[in-house]
Copies of this chain bind each other. A is one copy, B any other.
Amino acid sequence: MFKGLMFCILTLSSLSVFSQAEDSLFIRKLADEILTSGKAYENLRVLTKNVGGRLSGSPQMYKAEDWGINALKDAGADKTWKQECQVTHWVRGAREEAYLIQDGKKKLPFKALALGNSVGTGKNGVKAPVILINSFDELELKKDEIKGKIVFYNYKFNPLFIKTNQSYGDAGKYRGSGPSRAAKYGAVAVLVRSMTHSTDNHAHTGSLSYNDSMPKIPAAAVGLKDADKLAAMLEKGTYSVYLRTNAMMYPDTLGHNVIGELTGSEFPNEYITIGGHLDSWDVAEGAHDDGTGCVHSIEVLRALKAVGYKPRRTIRIVLFANEENGLKGGTAYAAEAKKNNEKHYFALESDAGGFTPRSFGFSGSPEQLAKIRNYLPLLLPYGVYMINDGGGGADIGPLRQALNTPVAGFEPDSQRYFDIHHAENDVFENVNKRELELGAINMAALIYLVDKYGL
């Protein structure tokens, strides 16, 4: 129970007393720069309001790439470029239609949002009896009753996890593998309770992952109020549901990771990557997911340059393509790094929203973890009080796998993240300027310390 605080017994072996004071002053300068002249919030406004949702393969994806190049140039990057990759090209099509049928004819409509990468129902939709399934255990128990039905997974986002990403890890499998598991027993479509603690009725989309040995069936998310209503009715009676989704999967298409660099003064061929993903779901503005990660990363470069810091290693900002439904940007980035035999010293991702800072998660050797924890007292005044063992980000995962690069993930407070995650309300207005800026401060400070003192 007390392990979590052990990091606090600080030896600070790698920092002299002099440098502690100097670093503290330097980080204060970074903070002042970001709090008074920061561009993260305005960059985010332009990305969310002028570009908007930017699903891979959409026209907005290309517009976002141009936005990224310009924002990186404006921030002071020494060079910028687009790195080609093939990205998933899934299109939602016309908005979904869904209703429950009462007394054989009365239509009770509810909001359904097709899951990413799902197949469409065809223009006539699917009409079938619906079966309430609260867990995979229940699915197995009732496997003989599934055939020809629409399975409605009503597994609840567990409120007992204090960090909501743990609830997401717990519930996410119903969205990811639920459709194929239901198809195995003959289901014709799937509805999934949204993965959220929210108090509203927004449906939350996200990718599914079909098992190629099963038939691909349509699948859609349902908001919590509708899910509760459907569940209450299905506990008392039997009903059919009509569902029409209009999704289409096209062949992969051309996309790009958007990259900007500050060239290193001592080790220009050693890279520190800082990134978020540029793509988002189509139904909102992708503000917290992951506009904030993009503007955090750009702000790190801008602030370091603005205060006159000359990085020892090359600082590379990467706005990754296609995280949401393919991870093909992150995969291509790691493949190219490996092919070119690049030395990647460290990578940091922000893909957990632009909320108030709490911690970083780190994946590396125990010695590296101990060293990075030494930096905590310098972050504490800005809100980061812990560096967890384990963490990183989806887009930098392939880099860690390919090159064993130490990686970290920025971990802001998680309570509000799943209120907006993959839903219509992931908009600029739900991002707080100060919280966003504090994230950039902690990221910039960590990058400065790792660049200066190493890992």
A residues adjacent to B (C-beta < 8 A): 1-2, 4-5, 8-10, 12, 20-21, 24, 31-32, 35-36, 41, 159-160, 162, 164, 197, 199, 356, 358, 376-378, 380-383, 385-386, 413, 415-416, 419, 432-435, 438
- A385-B386, A438-B162 known; A5 vs B377 contact (CB < 8 Å): yes
Cβ-defined contact, A197 with B24, below 8 A: no
Known contacts A5-B377, A24-B1, A377-B5: A383-B162 contact under CB 8 Å: yes
Q: Which residues of B contact A197 (CB under 8 A)?
A: 433-434
Q: State how many angstroms separate the Cβ of A256 from the closest Cβ of chain B.
A: 32
| A437 (CB) vs chain B CBs: closest residue | B159
B162 pairs with A415, CB closer than 8 A: no
B contact residues around A36 at 8 Å (CB): 159-160
Please state the number of chain copies in the assembly.
2
Distance from A417 Cβ to chain B, minimum over Cβ atoms (Å): 10
**Assembly CA distance A10 to B9 (angstroms):** 9
Interchain CB contact under 8 A, A415 and B385: no
**Complex: A35 Cα to B415 Cα, angstroms:** 12
Identify 12 residue pairs between A and B in the complex whose beta-carbon atoms are under 8 Å apart, listed by A's number.
A5-B8, A5-B10, A32-B160, A35-B160, A159-B434, A162-B383, A162-B438, A358-B383, A413-B413, A415-B435, A416-B435, A419-B432
The answer on a CB contact under 8 Å between B416 and A162 is no
Q: Which of B8, B12, B35 contacts A9 (CB 8 A)?
A: B8
Chain B residues near A385 (CB-CB < 8 A): 385-386
Query: Across the interface, do A31 and B162 meet the contact criterion of CB distance under 8 Å?
Result: yes
Chain B min CB distance to A415 (Å)? 4
| A213 to B259 Cα, complex, angstroms | 65
Whether the pair A162, B382 counts as a contact (CB closer than 8 A) is yes
Question: In the complex, which residues of chain B have a beta carbon less than 8 angstroms from the beta carbon of A160?
Answer: 31-32, 35-36
Residues of B within 8 A of A159 (CB): 35-36, 434
Closest chain-B Cβ to A384's Cβ sits at a distance in Å of 10
What are the residues of chain B within 8 A of A4 when measuring CB–CB? 377, 380-381
Residue of B nearest to A9 (CB): B9
Of B9, B32, B415, which is within 8 A of A438 by CB? B415
Closest to A24 in B: B1
Residue of B nearest to A434 (CB): B415
Cβ B435 vs Cβ A356 within 8 A: no
Which residue of chain B is the closest to A413 with respect to CB atoms? B356
Residue among A386, A432, A435 with the highest chain B CB neighbour number at 10 A: A432
List, in ascending order, chain B residues with CB within 8 A of A10's CB: 2, 5
User: Would you give the shortest CB distance from A425 to chain B, in whole angstroms?
Assistant: 12
A35, chain B: closest CB distance, angstroms = 4
User: Could you tell me if B433 and A199 are in contact, using CB atoms closer than 8 angstroms?
Assistant: yes
Max count, chain B CB within 10 A of own CB: residue among A21, A32, A380, A415:
A415
Q: Residue of B at shortest CB range from A2?
A: B377
CB distance from A161 to the nearest CB of B (A): 9
Contacts of A41 in B (CB 8 A): 199
> In the assembly, what is the distance between CA of A21 and CA of B1, in Å?
8
CB nearest neighbor in B for A32: B160
C-alpha spacing A376/B4, complex, angstroms: 11
A431 to chain B: closest residue by CB? B199
- A368 vs chain B, min Cβ distance (A): 21
Q: How far is the CB of A431 from chain B (nearest CB, A)?
A: 10
* Bound: A432/B8 CA distance, A: 30
A181 to B4, CA, bound (A): 51
- A383 and B199 CA atoms in complex are apart in Å by 22
**Measured CA separation A199–B36 after assembly (Å):** 14
Residue of B nearest to A383 (CB): B162
Question: A356 contacts B433, CB within 8 Å?
Answer: no
CB distance from A317 to the nearest CB of B (A): 24
In this complex, what residue of B is CB-closest to A433?
A: B199
Please, how many angstroms separate the alpha-carbon atoms of A13 and B377 in the complex? 25
Residues of B within 8 A of A378 (CB): 1
- Whether the Cβ atoms of B438 and A5 lie closer than 8 Å is no
6 A-B pairs with least C-beta separation: A8-B8, A415-B434, A35-B159, A356-B413, A385-B385, A415-B435
